[in-house]
Structure 1
Amino acid sequence: MKSNELTQAVRYIWQGHRTWVICTAVLSLMLGLTPAVHLWVAKELVNEVAALLNGGGDYSGAFQLLVVQFLVLLLASLLTKAQELLDKRTELHLDHDLQRAVMEKTTTVPLELYDRPDFQHAIERVHGGQAHRFLTPIKQSMDIVRQLTTLISFLFYLLSVHWTLALVSVVAAFPLLLVLARFGNKRFSLMMFQTPLAREARYLQHLMVKRESAKEVRLFQLRDFLLGVWSDRFRRNQEETYRLFKREKGTLVLTDALTAFFYVGAAGLIIWVARAATITIGDFVALGQAVQGTQSAINQIAGQIARLYESRLYLRDYFRFLDDSVYESRVDRGTKSFPAPLQAGISVERVSFRYPGSERPALQDVSLQIQPGERIAIVGDNGSGKTTLVKCLMGLYQVQTGCIRVDGVPMQDIAEEQLFHNITVIFQDFMRYDFTVRQNITIGQLEAAADKERLETVAANAGVESFVARFAQGYDTHLGRSFQEGEDLSGGQWQKIALARALFSEGQLLILDEPTAALDPKAEMEVFEHFDHLTRGKTAVFISHRMAAARMADRIIVMRDGQICEMGTHEQLIALEGEYKRMYTMQAQWYR
């Protein structure tokens, strides 16, 4: 880290919430003085009452002190509640800012980072509840200031009576500080160790409570299995947490015993001082409260220092996540425009790509030329590299060797917004947004969402208009039932929504990455018929396991083990009697 995590957190909060910092500092000082004022009032009140009991004194003086004592207690309560209100308001605003920073990071990092488990674990740790952790060090620091103010005022009083009272009151705090710091470090280490197990437990819980998985949980009778595995992961986490908690509390019993021992020693000193010097009953009571208050303040300071150290560990984890040297946020791209229209096409030149942590390359020395207006089909068995190649073509994955050029311009030299604006994609696992039909179609270009003619044209071309016409609210109909009553669509209807979304974007390069894998052959062919009609004269790439769909392409690319093994038209590849014919013949047997 380039600077101390606590310094970074303080700087961050000061820049956006300096009013809160200043108010908290002032309130902490005022709250720190109230115990000393209360102690003085209590001492004088005891002396007044003692004088009254001995036949002297004045009732009015005692009642005045009672009023002062009430006002001091009321002021302390008002100051405390004001601090709590300020804390809550700041925490709500800060929580928004910190979560936004995390989401800005997760939406700009290179896509291949999502293939790293350590990145997924880091997201799990930092994606929520950070406002409390950011404010905690400041609040702990202010609490230390408050307790120090109280401590100093008590120590001055104890020193004015006898220096040994101050010494005995202070010594007991050091063992507590060491114990709390040690267990704070252990709690953070346990949290880091438990993250993978906690993520797995939450995933299993997600399967049992979400609508998407509810059908299979019942049909495959997964309840007992999922509950058993979840229970195992959950209890293992809880047992580790409880063991550490038990050890901490057992150790704190010893420190409490030590604190009690020193308090008894201080009480003995007070009795000795009372014999050696003339002090009032109020002084005697005040000395006991001052010793107890001093020890309490020191214990509070020791605890806050230990927790401050623990908070620093959590802050380090947060700043480490945002640190570009750990998880690079944005790939360096140029500022050139995407060629419009394409003249020379897209060239893939000896491209290789390896996933993080993998020894086997997903792509190896791949070369390919896509002409403007050409429709390319990429086929191959699972794991052959089809989807990886397409993601490299889209600029989502950065190739490790080789280059991809668009009309001769290296892809990394094209501005990101230009690149993604000119590429339209339908993925195999395309998103089904719980939004309206209109939003689902226009989400790639929301600035054009009001263009009714454009929306209706692409909806008609994609086959969406036929079923949307039956909805009472038309294109403003909400899809899905997660958040409100809406329309549930079939798989084929969602495919048409996704196709309309792609067409609405009007990118120069249209890519379909196995978007029909979950459909039956008839529904798939219907989607590809739309695709065949709408992509004529456009540059398009599509992936399909079904060889029959590949016949619509101008050229077919066959991949195996991360490499291109065959290339040509359907007739040419059949004549080669190689990999393509093997796959085609195998699938043809399904229909005999």
Structure 2
Amino acid sequence: MRLIWGISRKWTTLTLVLIAVESVLYLLLLYIFKHLINEVARSTPFNTEKVQRVEWYLAVITAGTIIYVVVKALSTLATEINAQRVKESIDEKIHECAVNLDLAFYESPAYFDTMKRARDAGPEAPNNVVLNLADIAKNCLTLVAIGSILISISWLLLPLLALFIAPTLLVRIRYAEQLYQWRRRQTPVERQATYLSDLLTEDTSAKEIRGYGLGAYIRGLYTGIRLGLMRERLQMTRRNTFKELLTNIMATLGLFACIAYLCFSLIKGRISVGDMSLFLIVFPQSYGILQGMAQGISGLYQNNIFINNLFELFDLRATLKEPEHPLPFPESDAVDLEVENMSFTYPHAKEPALRNVSLRVPSGKIVAIVGLNGAGKTTLIKLLCRLYDPSEGSIKMDGTDIRCFRSTEYRKHISAVFQDFGRFNITAAENIRWGDIDGERPESEIESASRKSGAHDYIRRFPEGYGTMMGRLFENGREVSIGQWQKLAIARSFYSNSRFVIFDEATSALDAVSEDELFQSFRQRIGNRAALIISHRLSAVRHADHIYVMGEGRVQQHGTHEELVAMGGTYAKLFLKKPVESDNAGQS
């Protein structure tokens, strides 16, 4: 309720007022209708006075009904507007939460279970709560109006009716609880089915699925999961339907027992014809209202427990701690990045991924990191980008621990091209501009960054140039090779205003000529920035001012190319045993 009130106070108030007015009008119309029936049924002479009274009642009922219809339409409109405002606000809040959480959550299955449950509840659950509350409020007020009439006829009618409806309400609430618990248990299985569906329907795995003939096999796995879930859900639904059938039969028997009671009361003269006529109109409506309330309350209960999934997501907090009093970032261009005795263990992992790593990236210098797969190089990059914080030790910028800076401010000064770089289905210009989305920069700088990365050579050949939509997800999109996508990612890093450029195997998809051109003039391309390069290729690291060799999460060697060659060991084995084959192997 606080959530809904905080999102849309004005429209919530208007909705409640209109519902109240609608219910009061309904009560007045019923009251006037009863007098009309009694007037018509009264055994008085048919004279002008009686005709005038009947005409007056009819005129009031007609005018009142028109007003009632207008108010009801406005009430429905206000309810829908309020629900849509809540829906959009919740949708925005889900995305805000996803953006603000750090990378650790995106490497945790538990987070994806939480996110799926929240998205399944999604904006619709609060939206449905608004509608449920509006219906329950309307039914409550209408029931008060009708109940007062029923009690005036006989005080037994309303309690009897509520007694017969109560079992249906209890059955529905119990079913909602069972459904919620079942959905929580099945979330990992449903995520697996969604993953298999994405494999079959998206472009990322289309070539391999067809190449290895995996389509029928994956489809069989998906169908097996979905059929299993469907059988469990239908089994629950069948049990609930049987229980509801029994309670509805009880309610129907109660309804006709009340009708029989009133019929005998009319015969004995305890009630008037107007009372009986009013009952025949009001009682089925009150029965429907109570059924609607039972459905609304059970729906409210069900949506409310599913909203718990939303709050479970909203309650998540980033593990990276922001400083209470962040320090201003150094203004000098000559800023060094230094790692001191840093160790790191991933959440939920037992063994550390990095152990006592120390290295330095001086301002304006090119530093390379080499090592076998699994040596900890990519983990180191994540920490340098402050996607994680070290378990021990520190990372310092100009002598200050980076945890003293606001993380968003710090990341503006680090531009990284990861191995699994983003391929965004937006225009070529936007792909580059996203490297500095907050900056107001001339369009010429986009082309300049593109020229430095080598992307300009193919973008200029598109009819729409930098306005070309990249990828095939949208109309008129252009798909390009993985190497051309990588050039766009490199251009994005060059476009940024960062002081450090990090390449994590960022040239792995480039052809030998493009890679050689990039690194031959790499110092000119990065300007006065420092660069950290991770690569398995000699051509990418031999121009570095300093090289660190990593293995088993540690720095095993460091020095210049010549110094490392003289040392022998891992570096010499990586690059000097068969140097030509090493370069070609990277390209293949």
TM-score (norm 2): 0.88
Output the amino acid matched with 1:584. F
**Aligned equivalent of 1:238:** 230
Once structures 1 and 2 are overlaid, which stretch shifts more, 529-538 or 404-413? Answer: 529-538
**Aligned equivalent of 1:153:** 145
Once structures 1 and 2 are overlaid, which stretch shifts more, 94-103 or 43-52? Answer: 43-52
Q: Deviations over 1:445-479 (max 9, x none)?
A: 24556424433433333223333332334333333
**Aligned equivalent of 2:83:** 91
Change (3 A) 1:148 1:417: closer
**Aligned equivalent of 1:7:** none
**Aligned equivalent of 2:217:** 225
Query: Are 1:262 and 2:263 counterparts?
Result: no
Output the amino acid matched with 1:460. R
Change (3 A) 1:253 1:90: same
Change (3 A) 1:287 1:436: closer
Query: Are 1:168 and 2:160 counterparts?
Result: yes
Instruction: After TM superposition, give the deviation of residue 39 of structure 1 in Å.
Output: 4.4
8 Å contact kept, 1:384–1:560: yes
Change (3 A) 1:55 1:124: same
**Matched ranges for 1:246-285 at <5 A:** 246-285=238-277
Within 1, Cα distance between the matches of 2:306 and 2:480? 44
Change (3 A) 1:587 1:169: farther
Query: Are 1:390 and 2:387 counterparts?
Result: no
Q: Deviations over 1:148-196 (max 9, x none)?
A: 2222223322322332223322212322232222111122222222322
1:327 to 303, 317, 323: 317
Within 2, Cα distance between the matches of 1:102 and 1:495? 31
Query: Are 1:437 and 2:442 counterparts?
Result: no
Change (3 A) 1:537 1:281: closer
8 Å contact kept, 2:114–2:312: no
Output the amino acid matched with 1:356. P
Q: SS of the residue aligned with 1:545?
A: coil
Q: SS of the residue aligned with 2:76?
A: helix
Output the amino acid matched with 1:331. K
> Which stretches in structure 1 are left out of the alignment for 5+ residues?
1-9
Within 2, Cα distance between the matches of 1:390 and 1:144? 55
**Aligned equivalent of 2:103:** 111
2:358 to 351, 357, 367: 367
Q: SS of the residue aligned with 2:205?
A: helix
Output the amino acid matched with 2:555. I
Instruction: After TM superposition, give the deviation of residue 569 of structure 1 in Å.
Output: 2.8
8 Å contact kept, 1:114–1:120: yes
Change (3 A) 1:358 1:72: farther
Within 1, Cα distance between the matches of 2:221 and 2:112? 21
Q: SS of the residue aligned with 1:107?
A: helix
8 Å contact kept, 2:413–2:499: yes
Within 1, Cα distance between the matches of 2:568 and 2:18? 84
Change (3 A) 1:376 1:88: same
1:120 to 112, 131, 139: 112
8 Å contact kept, 1:36–1:150: yes
Within 2, Cα distance between the matches of 1:378 and 1:403? 19
Within 1, Cα distance between the matches of 2:169 and 2:16? 24
1:552 to 537, 540, 543: 543
Q: SS of the residue aligned with 2:115?
A: helix
**Matched ranges for 1:354-503 at <5 A:** 354-446=345-437, 448=439, 450-503=441-494
Output the amino acid matched with 1:581. A
Q: SS of the residue aligned with 1:369?
A: strand
Instruction: After TM superposition, give the deviation of residue 307 of structure 1 in Å.
Output: 2.5
Q: Deviations over 1:476-502 (max 9, x none)?
A: 333333223143333332222222221
1:102 to 75, 94, 106: 94
Within 1, Cα distance between the matches of 2:504 and 2:203? 26
8 Å contact kept, 1:464–1:497: yes
**Aligned equivalent of 2:198:** 206
Within 1, Cα distance between the matches of 2:136 and 2:328? 56
Q: Deviations over 1:512-536 (max 9, x none)?
A: 0112334455554444445355347
Once structures 1 and 2 are overlaid, which stretch shifts more, 185-194 or 407-416? Answer: 185-194
8 Å contact kept, 1:109–1:331: no
Output the amino acid matched with 1:217. I
**Matched ranges for 1:576-591 at <5 A:** 576-584=567-575, 588=579
Instruction: After TM superposition, give the deviation of residue 72 of structure 1 in Å.
Output: 5.5
Change (3 A) 1:257 1:108: same
**Aligned equivalent of 2:564:** 573
8 Å contact kept, 2:7–2:89: no
8 Å contact kept, 2:519–2:539: no
Q: How many equivalent pairs are there?
A: 580
Change (3 A) 1:311 1:448: closer
> Which stretches in structure 2 are left out of the alignment for 5+ residues?
none
Within 1, Cα distance between the matches of 2:32 and 2:250? 30
Within 2, Cα distance between the matches of 1:304 and 1:310? 10
Q: Deviations over 1:21-68 (max 9, x none)?
A: 12211222233345545545665565567679x996977876776666
Within 2, Cα distance between the matches of 1:28 and 1:492? 62
Within 2, Cα distance between the matches of 1:420 and 1:363? 21
Instruction: After TM superposition, give the deviation of residue 320 of structure 1 in Å.
Output: 2.4
**Aligned equivalent of 2:182:** 190
Q: SS of the residue aligned with 1:434?
A: coil
Q: SS of the residue aligned with 2:156?
A: helix
**Matched ranges for 1:13-162 at <5 A:** 13-33=4-24, 36-37=27-28, 39-40=30-31, 43=34, 74-127=66-119, 130-162=122-154
Change (3 A) 1:373 1:174: same
Q: Deviations over 1:389-415 (max 9, x none)?
A: 111111111112211111210010123
Q: SS of the residue aligned with 1:383?
A: coil
Change (3 A) 1:167 1:100: closer
Within 2, Cα distance between the matches of 1:478 and 1:99? 27
**Aligned equivalent of 2:329:** 338
Output the amino acid matched with 1:515. A
8 Å contact kept, 1:424–1:505: yes
Change (3 A) 1:329 1:300: farther
Within 1, Cα distance between the matches of 2:330 and 2:6? 42
Within 2, Cα distance between the matches of 1:311 and 1:509? 48
Within 2, Cα distance between the matches of 1:406 and 1:278? 92
